[in-house]
Structure 1
Amino acid sequence: MGLLSVRRVLCWPQLDGREIEKVEIMQRILLLSGADNGLTRRAALALRRAGRTVQVAVVTSGQDMEVAVAGGTFDLVICPFLKARIPEAIYRKWTTVIIHPGPVGDRGAHSLDWAISDAAPVWGVTAMSAVEELDAGPVWAARTFELPAARKSAVYNTVVADAAVECVLEVADKAADPAFEPVDQASVKRRVAGTGARPRMRQGDRGFDWAADPEVILRRIRAADGSPGVLSMIMGCAVYLYDVHPGRTGSVDVEPGTVVGRRHHGVEISCGAGHSVWIGHLRVELGAGWSCKAPAATALAAAGLSLNSVALDRSDMFSDIRYERTGHVGTVTFEAYNGAMTADLCRRLLAAIGTAARQDTRVLVIRGRGGAVFSNGLHLGAIEISDDPPGTAWRNIKALNAVCRAILSATSQVTIGAFTGSAGAGGVMLLLAADVVVATNRALLDPHYATMGLGGSELHTYTLPRRVGTETAQRLLTECGTIDTMDARAIGLIDQICPDEGFDRTLADLAHHYAQPDQWRKTTDRKRERLARDLTRKPLDAYEHEELGEMARNLFDDSLGFAAKRSAFMNKPARGNPDRQPKALPHS
């Protein structure tokens, strides 16, 4: 393995229990990943914070990997997310460790898909050496956890990613120990029973009959969300299903597979035993091929299917916004699928915040429901599938701006914005209007717009410099990097990091603290003084006017290539294209 470098002090114990002299070594790590996804970014940030020098290469084939390692000067290769097989020449030359989203003994490309579909109660992550046989290498580290009943992308980016990052850090430590040898899988205790090799999950494995029990339908769709979705039929139209939620139980007396309700962007489908499920997002088959993933009602309309005859459900069965009050604290909770906020969601969120702000509470909390993603701002899918993308985007940004203004205008309450998951672009700027901003520890923040060809709005030209200073704000907007919560707190973007486990309790305690009369009075007085000082020099209308002027050029004149960047993002090519070259990402 050779002597590595770690900008941290390691103490190696002798046989008699004494420690040898402390040494400082350095470790250079290459992350090979099939996508620039959340896990890869979290792993890179965690390793750098632990003193490692990290380079990241996005690769989709063995050829990509060979290009990425050519001439490389690194000590260890870690693969947090791969779908292509690693060439033997790489793992023979470099210590190469695979992070597999399954417990010890599990093998196969669709490990997590099978676990969710089969309702496994416990699952895990294993770090193993790359060898010729898939997922059969000696074990470096392993973790197990309870598997939540949630969609795959949410599971992957929370409990799986948490365990994977722990394994990555453990691998880096062990690789720095010349005496360490990974353990053969046959010698490792299996904490999850029944593991073994599983085949790829095909659409035939994912499919279901609408007459099936709703729990089966829920698990199948969750196991395919967000990729590849489950192929099915709605109203005679071929669709891929995503974003499924429980519906009514035992009171739906129509043929399974019938659209029986609609609410906001979701449609309710009858299924077995008189039950139903809600579908929030779809891809539909259009004349020129498949659409991007979009709100279900919007996608069906794009396919020429009318829902006007379907009953409008006025219950809260399919609800993405809730308001709750506990004493002097009011909480508005909203959920945006994959962080994408339509204009309709923004308008309803505005109404909820307005109602909450008129209550006689002292603290107003605006938060997500939980999971992997809080918000990424505009709903690019709804924009892409629209007959008028610039106009749809314009209405979307205006509605999102109104939410930001409402948070800023709640001067009689202390406002607390809570990032319950990762956020990007307008989803970051949304909560900067709050007095106090907190985030779950695992959240990643991308406070910039330029990579999507937008100048951005959400009053960020006021709220971002107010928190981090003009120079840092400009750097965040132009360098377009991802930051973790520790960096976000260090620069003043957020005020407090809350633990992933127990986040709700910590947030409630914080809200209770600010609801105390003295703290509430002191905070709201300072807010009113600050707004009076800042907005006398330059009113909010002026900030918004300048931002929207640039956004109008971005949307209607396509000044920064928003149309092409949006389309490429929403209609990603299939992985494994041999013509794609590995993409080099920033490294320290």
Structure 2
Amino acid sequence: MRILLIASSYNSLTQRVRVELQDRGHGVPVEVTPDGDAVRDAVARHAPDLVLAPMLKTVVPRDVWSRHRCLIVHPGPVGDRGPSSLDWAVHEGATEWGVTVLQADEEMDAGDVWATARFRVPEGVGKSDLYRNELSDAALTAVHLAVERVAAGAVPSPQTGRVRARPAFRQEHRRISWDADDTGTVLRALRAADSQPGVRDELLGAEWFLHGGHPEDGLRGRPGELLATRAGAVCRATVDGAVWIPEIRARTGAGEPRACKLPAALALAGRLPRLPELPAPARPPREGHRTWSDIRYREHGPVGVLSFAFPGGAMSTGHCRRLLAAYRSACRRPTAVLVLGGQRDFFSNGIHLGVIEAAADPAAESWANINAMDDLVEAVLTTTDRLVVSAVGGNAAAGGAMLALAADEVWCRSGSVLNPHYRRMGLYGSEYWTHTLPRKVGEAMAARLTGDARPVSAAAALGAGLVDRVVECGPGAFAGEVTRLAVRLASHPGLPSRVAAKKAEHERREAVSPLAAHREQELSRMRRIFEDPGAPYHALRRAFARKAEQPAGCPDGPGALPAGQADR
């Protein structure tokens, strides 16, 4: 069928729906439709067999849904209604939730049901992580079933049973009372708003939006007091413990540009009192003790696993340097296989556009950030004494996708979506992509992937040679499954000869086409872009980091902003 996707943004779910439907042979154009008129125009131009809305904030006009079959993906079970379903579910501590594909109708979320799927809500997972993973898996199950039923000429079922209509989840519902709320209550509030919109709060004489939260059992203080910093996050006391807050965003007035979401300590620079900078524990905490670290290392016999989790998948200069130090430390351990990644959710989306945009000199910070990314990728590419596996548990884009490709093997979860390109941010790209991408997929496919600048499903990436293994499992099982597979790889009798052949091949390539030449060529192109105030990159970066309207003349197609970093 020709299935038109209409969406308020080309977010992670919209991308996944598109690529998986394309994998099944459907034609799937996508239109970003901010209002009813845009919906009308899109449907008139494409004349689709089916209209599908994976994430739509506007109402489908009556004259559209009365003439065309229009299906809405609602992030809640049958009977749940309202624009903030997942926010309410996380805030109230739901242990099970659902996704419903229903027919557009006069009343929002009240149409007949084409398909539904339920999923377990893991403890301690924030809204955006849940949306990109468990909810995304359930949504694709329901979407595929609904499309099959439409194609077979079936009819939907009327909604029956209990109806629960709830209002938008606004800031008054999210408010934290630091003098009264325990750690669990604070975490639910933060996790229900972790990526967007954040929890509005007062801190150090100003108003901020707090993004994300992790428990800390080892620190105590007066409720609401800032206790310490770690890797850019701040630790704040609750009535019975403390929470780590990785990111915050300043509240700006009407008519002012929206502030960038930044690592909390960076955003608060100049306001923070003298606080201890606590080193991040490199290994998992002891039994019964909760703390936070964005980089962790663990060993399972001959396998080392270096995992990392940066908010939104964005990696600042500081993130890259800390991960490089951890990688070098891991390489000093006597392991045969080193796994890079292996966590649920984002692998990496490359340079941190928010930190760059907020810098006093964005061009200089862009240059520092891309060089720090290159240093990290180079370290992976030049590891010749063991096998390195990139384990991509969620989405990866731009330089983050190229970081994954630097490993000897790339394993990704079946629900992952890859965006191995830079064009939609107006960049040529670096991270040695001119070396790694053609080596993985060939020159022709490399040109197609970077030129078309479209997302790729895990299955399509496997078929193209972009990844070496697709791990069929749920988000929560990915780390364990990757570790099991890596231990099996490390025990293979042919591993020593494979490592020796890898070292010889690296030396041969260096003699013919040294990595330094690729880096110099890529960075010369990037530097010209960074230092040109009129380059599209600057306007595109600003629009993304400040959630502003895309500038005129930006790269064509949906998701002209870096779709890999887009959130719900």
**Kept in 2: contact 1:104–1:126 (CA 8 A):** yes
Counting only pairs closer than 5 Å after superposition, residues 144-163 of structure 1 correspond to structure 2 as 144-148=118-122, 149-163=124-138
Distance 1:322 1:457 in 2: 26
1:478 paired to 2:444: no
Shift of 1:339: 0.5
User: What residue is the counterpart of 1:246 in the other structure?
Assistant: 215
Task: Tell me the distance in 2 between the aligned counterparts of 1:320 and 1:548.
Answer: 28
> Of residues 224, 232, 239 in structure 2, which corresponds to 1:265?
232
Kept in 1: contact 2:414–2:471 (CA 8 A): yes
Secondary structure at 2:29 match in 1: strand
Distance, in Å, in 1 between the alignment partners of 2:549 and 2:200 is: 17
Which of 246, 271, 280 is the aligned partner of 1:305? 271
Tell me how far apart the structure 2 counterparts of residues 37 and 202 of structure 1 sit (CA, whole Å): 22
Give the whole-Å Cα distance in 2 for the aligned partners of 1:86 and 1:286: 32
Note the 1:465-504 alignment, pairs <5 A.
465-501=438-474, 502-504=477-479
Q: 1:232 aligns with which of 195, 201, 204?
A: 201
Correspondence for 1:9: none
- Aligned counterparts of 1:52 and 1:460: Cα–Cα separation in 2: 31
Structure 1 range deviating more: 282-291 or 361-370:
282-291
SS at match of 1:54: coil
CA distance in 1, matches of 2:512, 2:24: 44
CA distance in 2, matches of 1:398, 1:584: 29
Distance in 2 (alpha carbons) for counterparts of 1:286 and 1:96: 38
Q: Distance in 2 between matches of 1:200 and 1:227?
A: 13
Matches within 5 A, 1:473-552: 473-501=446-474, 502-516=477-491, 518-552=493-527
Q: Is the 8 A contact 1:376 1:425 kept in 2?
A: yes
* 1:145-544 matched pairs, under 5 angstroms: 145-148=119-122, 149-178=124-153, 180-186=154-160, 196-211=164-179, 212-248=181-217, 251-254=219-222, 256-273=223-240, 275-285=241-251, 288-301=256-269, 304-307=270-273, 309-314=274-279, 316=281, 317-371=291-345, 373-501=346-474, 502-516=477-491, 518-544=493-519
Would you say the 8 A contact 1:103–1:123 is kept in 2?
Answer: yes
CA distance in 2, matches of 1:341, 1:63: 38
Partner of 1:87 in structure 2?
61
> SS in structure 2 opposite 1:509?
helix
The change in CA–CA distance for 1:552 and 1:72 in structure 2 (over 3 A counts) is closer
1:242–1:282 Cα contact (<8 Å) kept: yes
How many angstroms apart in 1 are the aligned matches of 2:200 and 2:335? Answer: 47
What is the CA distance between 1:290 and its match in structure 2? 3.9
Q: Aligned pair count?
A: 542
In the aligned structure 2, how far is the partner of 1:77 from the partner of 1:164? 16
User: What SS does structure 2 have at the residue aligned with 1:416?
Assistant: strand
Partner of 1:7: none
CA drift at 1:159: 1.1
The amino acid across from 2:198 in the alignment is G
| Map of 2:26 onto structure 1 | 52
Equivalent pair of 2:249/2:259 in contact (CA under 8 Å): yes
Q: Hey, what's the Cα distance between the residues in 2 that align with 1:515 and 1:564?
A: 47
Deviations 1:294-324 (A, max 9, x none): 11111112xx4244x1122235333111111
The answer as to whether partners of 1:235 and 1:258 remain within 8 angstroms in 2 is: no
Q: CA RMSD in A?
A: 2.1
Q: Does the 8 Å contact 1:422/1:445 carry over to 2?
A: yes
**CA shift at 1:357, angstroms?**
1.1
**What does the per-residue CA deviation read over 1:225-249, in whole Å, with 9 as the maximum and x for residues that have no partner?**
2111110011112100102111236
Q: Distance in 2 between matches of 1:487 and 1:559?
A: 36
- Alpha-carbon contact 1:206-1:220 (below 8 Å) kept: yes
The letter for the 2-side match of 1:276 is A
Counterpart CA distance in 2 for 1:276 and 1:509 is 34
Closer, same or farther in 2 for the Cα pair 1:558/1:521, shift >3 Å?
Answer: farther
Cα distance change, pair 161–151 in 1 and its aligned pair in 2 (3 A): same
Amino acid at match of 1:533: R
CA distance in 2, matches of 1:247, 1:331: 23
Q: Report the Cα offset of residue 519 of structure 1.
A: 2.3
DSSP-derived class of the 2:463 partner: helix
Distance in 2, matches of 1:71 and 1:352, equals 52
Residues 295 and 381, structure 1, Cα contact 8 Å, conserved in 2: no
Q: Which residue type is aligned with residue 279 of structure 2?
A: R
Partners of 1:383 and 1:389 within 8 A in 2: yes
Distance 1:573 1:84 in 2: 18
Q: TM-score, structure 1 length as denominator?
A: 0.88
Give the CA deviation at 1:285: 3.5
Change in Cα spacing, 1:311 to 1:215, as seen in structure 2 (3 Å) is same
SS in 2 for 1:283: strand
Q: CA deviation at 1:126?
A: 0.8
Distance 1:109 1:314 in 2: 41
2:539 is matched with which residue? Answer: 564
Report if the CA contact (8 A) 2:344-2:478 is conserved.
Answer: no
Give the direction of change, closer, same or farther, for the CA distance of 1:510–1:129 in structure 2 (3 Å limit): same
CA distance in 2, matches of 1:161, 1:195: 23
SS of equivalent to 2:201: strand
Q: 1:215: Cα distance to partner?
A: 1.0
Deviation at 1:505, TM superposition (A): 3.4
Tell me the secondary structure at the aligned position of residue 226 of structure 1. coil
Name the residue aligned to 2:562: none
**In the TM superposition, what is the alpha-carbon distance from 1:574 to its structure 2 partner?**
8.0
Cα distance, 1:367 vs. partner? 0.8
What letter is aligned with 1:284? A
Distance 1:563 1:53 in 2: 33
**Matches of 1:494 and 1:311 in 2, distance apart?**
42
Question: For residues 99-151 of structure 1, what are the alpha-carbon distances to aligned partners after superposition, in whole Å with 9 as ceiling and x for unaligned?
Answer: 11000110000011001000011110111111111111111111111112311
What secondary structure sits across from 2:80 in the alignment?
coil
Amino acid at match of 2:513: K
- Write the distance in 2 (CA, Å) between the matches of 1:139 and 1:468: 42
Contact 1:414 1:514 in 2 (8 A): no
Cα distance between partner residues in 2 of 1:347 and 1:539:
23
2:52 to 78, 85, 110: 78
**Percent of matched pairs sharing the same residue:** 38
Question: Where does structure 2 lack aligned partners over 5 or more consecutive residues?
Answer: 282-290, 560-568
Match 1:125 to one of 99, 123, 148: 99
1:500: Cα distance to partner?
2.9
Could you say which residue in structure 2 is the equivalent of 1:8? none
Q: State the Cα deviation string for residues 322-346 of structure 1 (Å, max 9, x = none).
A: 1111111111111111100111111
Equivalent-residue separation in structure 2 for 1:97 and 1:356 (angstroms) = 49
What amino acid is the match of 1:461? Answer: T
Distance in 2 between residues matched to 1:425 and 1:584, nearest whole Å: 17
SS at structure 1 position matched to 2:125: coil
- Cα–Cα, structure 1 residues 401 and 366, in superposed 2: closer, same or farther, change >3 Å? same
- State the SS of the aligned residue for 1:487: helix
- Structure 1 counterpart of 2:246, one-letter code: G
Cα deviation, 1:351-408, whole Å, max 9, x if unaligned, reads 111111122211111114212x210010111111111211212111111111111112
Partner of 2:13: 39
**Secondary structure at the counterpart of residue 32 of structure 1:** strand
Structure with bigger gyration radius? 1
Q: Quick one: which amino acid aligns to residue 199 of structure 2? A: V
What is aligned with 2:565?
none
